[in-house]
Amino acid sequence: MSSAVSPPEGSSPRYNFRETEAKWQKAWEERQTFRAVMEKGRPKYYVLEMFPYPSGRIHMGHVRNYTQGDVIARYKRAKGFNVLHPMGWDAFGLPAENAAMEKKVHPKKWTYENIATMKAQLKSMGLSLDWSRELATCDPTYYRHQQKMFLDFWKAGLAYRKEAWVNWDPVDNTVLANEQVIEGRGWRTGAPVERRKLTQWNLKITHFADELLERLDTLDRWPEKVRLMQANWIGKSRGARVFFSLASPEKDWGKLEIFTTRPDTLYGASFMALSIDHPVVTELAQNDPNLQRFIAECRKTGTAAAELETAEKQGYKLPLQALHPLLPGKTLPVYAANFVLMEYGSGAIFGCPGHDERDHEFAVKYGLPILPVVMPKDADPKTFSVADAAFTDDGVIINSDFLNGLPVDEAKARIIARLEEMGVGKGTTQYRLRDWLVSRQRYWGCPIPAIHCESCGVVPVPEKDLPVELPDDVEFDRPGNPLDRHPTWKHVACPRCGKPARRETDTFDTFIDSSWYFDRFTSPHLATAPFDREENQYWMPVDQYIGGVEHAILHLLYSRFWTRAMREVQMTSRDEPFDGLFTQGMVCHETYRASDGSWLLPEEVERAGGKVVRISDKSPVEVGRSEKMSKSKKNVVDPDQIIHDYGADTARWFMLSDSPPERDLEWTEAGVTGAWRFQQRLFRIATEALEGLPPVGAPRPASFTDAAIALRRAAHKTVAGLSADIEAFHFNKAVARLYELANAIGGGTPKDDSHRWARREALEIFVRLIGPMTPHLAEELWQALGHKTMLAEEPWPTAEPALLVDDTVTVAVQLNGKLRGTLQLAKDAPKDVAEATALALPEIVRALDGKTPKRVVVVPNRIVNVVA
RNA sequence: GCCCCCGUGGCGGAAUUGGUAGACGCGCCUGACUCAAAAUCAGGUUUCCUCACGGAAGUGUUGGUUCGAGUCCGACCGGGGGCACCA
């Protein structure tokens, strides 16, 4: 919405934010105020916001994220911590290649130009960053260490190649990891993924599945929600592996392994089902055209996740019989079925239709027996039936030989013990988590340091040959991976036998780049290793990490894995990279649609006489609900424009006001102008209130008038409250407190010396408190107050404890729980005094009408409740 | 379908964890300044009844626990997020 109140150039803004912000940014830079240097013995604090992808320009989400981080960084610095607050670039990725195809710019050029633009934008925000540690993941001095670590992991068995069905994104032309497929679609492109069978590099994240899950409990400074999402993703389930003998007339098929979480229902088994990708099915299909047709049919629906939900259970009866391991002579039919996944468990199940909904549906369709083996505790076994629906709750076991009468949990334990005794099964734990597929068929990423040799197989690139650098001379004239068709790059001698061989042309998933950048920040220029152990030991872990919740699983889980993989190869002894995590909400804006249905930018629209119209032709505009700012819906506001029009401090202040930081924030013009007006008002209050005040460092008066004490109390309480708010990420409450203090300082003229002294004290406190939020204005006012030091280097004010407690308190008086009046009492007045005073209140006397109350509840300093 | 979170004025949101609901801001209303507007300053602003004093109701709905419930418990309604043939 074009602003009716764009900052009126001529309307007496006495605070010139443009000059002032530039002035202080220059001063901080010249003094290297925010440069971090290890000082052993001094407490450190590592504040990190998720580093940006250099897409071209920063957006409001960045502004919000970095403002929050900067508040913490500046606050912790003032509290005396040695603060590390670095910034870098998540610089590899597909948009650079897309730009290369569309605009004929080389990805490297495009990326570095974007970095330059965005760096200037970030600098205009006045962030307290140590730019000397800046890094870009596309720089060979960065990724060489990544290649080295990968080789170490490979040697340690944490990296391997495997042929498997993988998710293929047909738009980006590359494979994706499981985590990167959301509802059957690529996380970046939104295109339905296809299944392809390929040999790809994987990292063995499953090796740490249990640890990654268990350690979540100790991450008590992480949002509960994120921990829960990771726990669900890892998906631990306890159960049993059970072996069924497979028999067919022609051949002995040996044992069939299945996984189940319900071994207690084994006596209710009525069929077996195998994945269409199960080796047994594959073998049978070779001579069975009908089975081949069935498999092909399943594959068709197998891709789109939305269809899976409604897809009917399909089975194909195989010419096999399974022998029940506990019931001699009992055989079960064996099916290939579309609902059994090869990737989970062993790709085979036993079907118990009585107690599993999927199995029930399948059994009904194919007319298989449905036998109840569990029933609710107090049900009648004669009438209890599972013919209509599976019973999946807890209960007692029936029809199950030695398990009869047991509760489910105990039955599970007993039957596992029995299966183990008989050698036909084993208690086991299964995870949903799969290994991390890291190959990408793309150019703009870190090359995988491997060489394929016809005689030696896959050979690691020798360490002396690192880094394997990307070639610059590539063409993007057609789809596919330019590395693959490069005339010379991939041809190389085998490091083992010397014969002609070829390089791996896949590059790493860019989530690898971001899995250790926080470690690299601890010694960003070291050439010989990813980081210096001592520096790393000092700065890590990240004390406060801040970013979007969209990385709850992807980036955060990968980073936790990478940290453990580094531990495994003795690079660190650390388990977890991020001690504290905060996930900020999105920045939203209303959406606007013209009469022809096209989206309009907020700046193309204005409010006129209660209606919203398009500025160009005054045609009506349909206002849609507020949604996350996105280019496609054009509901975006450019941070540059806001900073130019209103200043960085206004943008920062608005980002912190009103909305709790973890929730979505609605960007409104009214809110911005409100924030802007407050900056102006602060400047006015501070400079006007300054007149007649004692100078810096004036001696403290021996006594204070009531007005002076009231102001001092307000100021000191704000110090205590604000510190707590910032520590708890309650920035919106912190802002509210600052408004209150501004109101307390702003009114009236002090009448005596002690009040004038108190006003200076309050002003100084105020200016220090706004330092983390609006640093430029704060520096300017600090100077105006007569200080020669730099506020960014000043300590946080301390509250005098005596001023934090009041001598009198307001106590509410209730009659039967309803408020009837209030009392002013001395703090901690005895209960009987409070009771007597309350009972003497005219309202209470009138209501009691001479009778004695049934009961009087007194909560000291809070409430007196008279029950009549 | 399963798991989790959230429902408070016209709006964004507060409420020391069971103790005066609506802090603070936005918006709106009234007044001051101004020829006028903008900006600024002062006051008001949950709803209903009352000229007022004052009173009644009120935190999605509904029932409960309690001297006392936005806060705790049960059921339901609505919104958001995560996972999803995971055996």
pLDDT along chain A (868 residues), means of 10: 42 75 96 97 96 94 95 97 98 92 92 97 97 98 98 97 87 85 79 86 95 92 91 91 88 89 94 93 93 86 51 87 92 93 90 91 91 87 85 88 91 94 93 92 95 96 95 87 91 95 95 97 97 97 93 92 97 96 91 86 78 82 83 89 94 93 89 91 85 88 91 94 94 94 83 91 95 96 94 96 88 88 87 89 81 87 88
Q: Quick check: A667 CB within 7 A of strand B?
A: no
Q: From the CA of A629 to the C1' of B84: give the distance in Å.
A: 29
The secondary structure of residue A378, as a DSSP letter, is: T
C-beta separation of A776 from A19 below 8 A: no
Report which of residues 786-845 in chain A place their beta carbon less than 7 angstroms from any atom of strand B. Answer: 810, 812, 814, 816-820, 822, 843
At residue A301, the pLDDT reads 64
Q: Strand B nucleotides below 7 A of a protein CB?
A: 3-5, 12-16, 19-21, 23-27, 38-42, 55-57, 67-69, 82-87
Q: Quick check: A736 CB within 7 A of strand B?
A: yes
Burial of A334 (0-12, 13-18, 19+ CB in 10 A): buried
Q: Quick check: A739 CB within 7 A of strand B?
A: yes
Q: Quick check: A747 CB within 7 A of strand B?
A: yes
Provide the CA A479 distance to its chain's centre, in angstroms.
33
At residue A309, the pLDDT reads 52
Q: Which residue minimizes Cα–C1' distance to B24?
A: A736
User: Which residue shows structure tokens 């703090």?
Assistant: A827
Report which of residues 501-520 in chain A place their beta carbon less than 7 angstroms from any atom of strand B. Answer: none
Q: From the CA of A306 to the C1' of B45: give the distance in Å.
A: 50
Q: Which residue minimizes Cα–C1' distance to B3?
A: A232
- Across A278-431, the runs of DSSP E, i.e. the strands, are 315-323, 331-337, 348-351, 374-375, 396-397, 425-431
Q: How far apart, in whole angstroms, are the C-alpha atoms of residue A440 and residue A470?
A: 14
At residue A62, the pLDDT reads 95
Q: Quick check: A313 CB within 7 A of strand B?
A: yes
Q: From the CA of A243 to the C1' of B62: give the distance in Å.
A: 53
At residue A9, the pLDDT reads 43
At residue A747, the pLDDT reads 65
At residue A297, the pLDDT reads 84
Per-state percent for chain A, helix, strand, coil, to nearest 5: 40, 20, 40
Q: Which nucleotide is nearest to A230 (CA to C1')?
A: B82
Q: From the CA of A814 to the C1' of B21: give the distance in Å.
A: 15
Report which of residues 228-247 in chain A place their beta carbon less than 7 angstroms from any atom of strand B. Answer: 228-229, 232-233, 235, 237, 239
- Sequence-distant (6+) residues with CB within 8 A of A421 are none
Q: Quick check: A305 CB within 7 A of strand B?
A: yes
Report which of residues 396-455 in chain A place their beta carbon less than 7 angstroms from any atom of strand B. Answer: 430, 432
C-beta separation of A629 from A60 below 8 A: yes
Model's pTM, two decimal places? 0.93
Task: Tell me the longest C-alpha to C-alpha distance in chain A.
Answer: 110
Q: Which nucleotide is nearest to A673 (CA to C1')?
A: B26
β-pair type (A236-247, A425-431) = antiparallel
Which CA distances in Å does A599 have to A56, A591, A614? 22, 7, 11
Q: Quick check: A336 CB within 7 A of strand B?
A: no
CA dihedral over A606, A608, A613, A617, signed as positive or negative: negative
Q: Which nucleotide is nearest to A822 (CA to C1')?
A: B20
Helix or strand run (H / E) with residue A107: helix A107-124
Q: Quick check: A670 CB within 7 A of strand B?
A: yes
Q: From the CA of A626 to the C1' of B21: give the distance in Å.
A: 28
Q: How far apart, in whole angstroms, are the C-alpha atoms of residue A512 and residue A449?
A: 14
User: Which residue shows structure tokens 């900073």?
Assistant: A643
3-state secondary structure (DSSP) of residue A119: helix
Q: From the CA of A506 to the C1' of B23: give the distance in Å.
A: 58
Nearest to A744 by CA among A717, A782, A725, A768: A717
Q: How far apart, in whole angstroms, are the C-alpha atoms of residue A602 and residue A761?
A: 43
Q: Quick check: A270 CB within 7 A of strand B?
A: no
Q: How far apart, in whole angstroms, are the C-alpha atoms of residue A699 and residue A757?
A: 9
Report which of residues 347-366 in chain A place their beta carbon less than 7 angstroms from any atom of strand B. Answer: 347, 349, 356, 358
Q: From the CA of A252 to the C1' of B84: give the distance in Å.
A: 37
Tell me the angle at which helices A648-656 and A17-31 cross, rounded to the nearest 10 degrees: 90
Q: How far apart, in whole angstroms, are the C-alpha atoms of residue A503 and residue A622?
A: 56
Q: Quick check: A553 CB within 7 A of strand B?
A: yes
Q: Which residue minimizes Cα–C1' distance to B15?
A: A733
Nearest to A87 by CA among A53, A42, A59, A111: A53
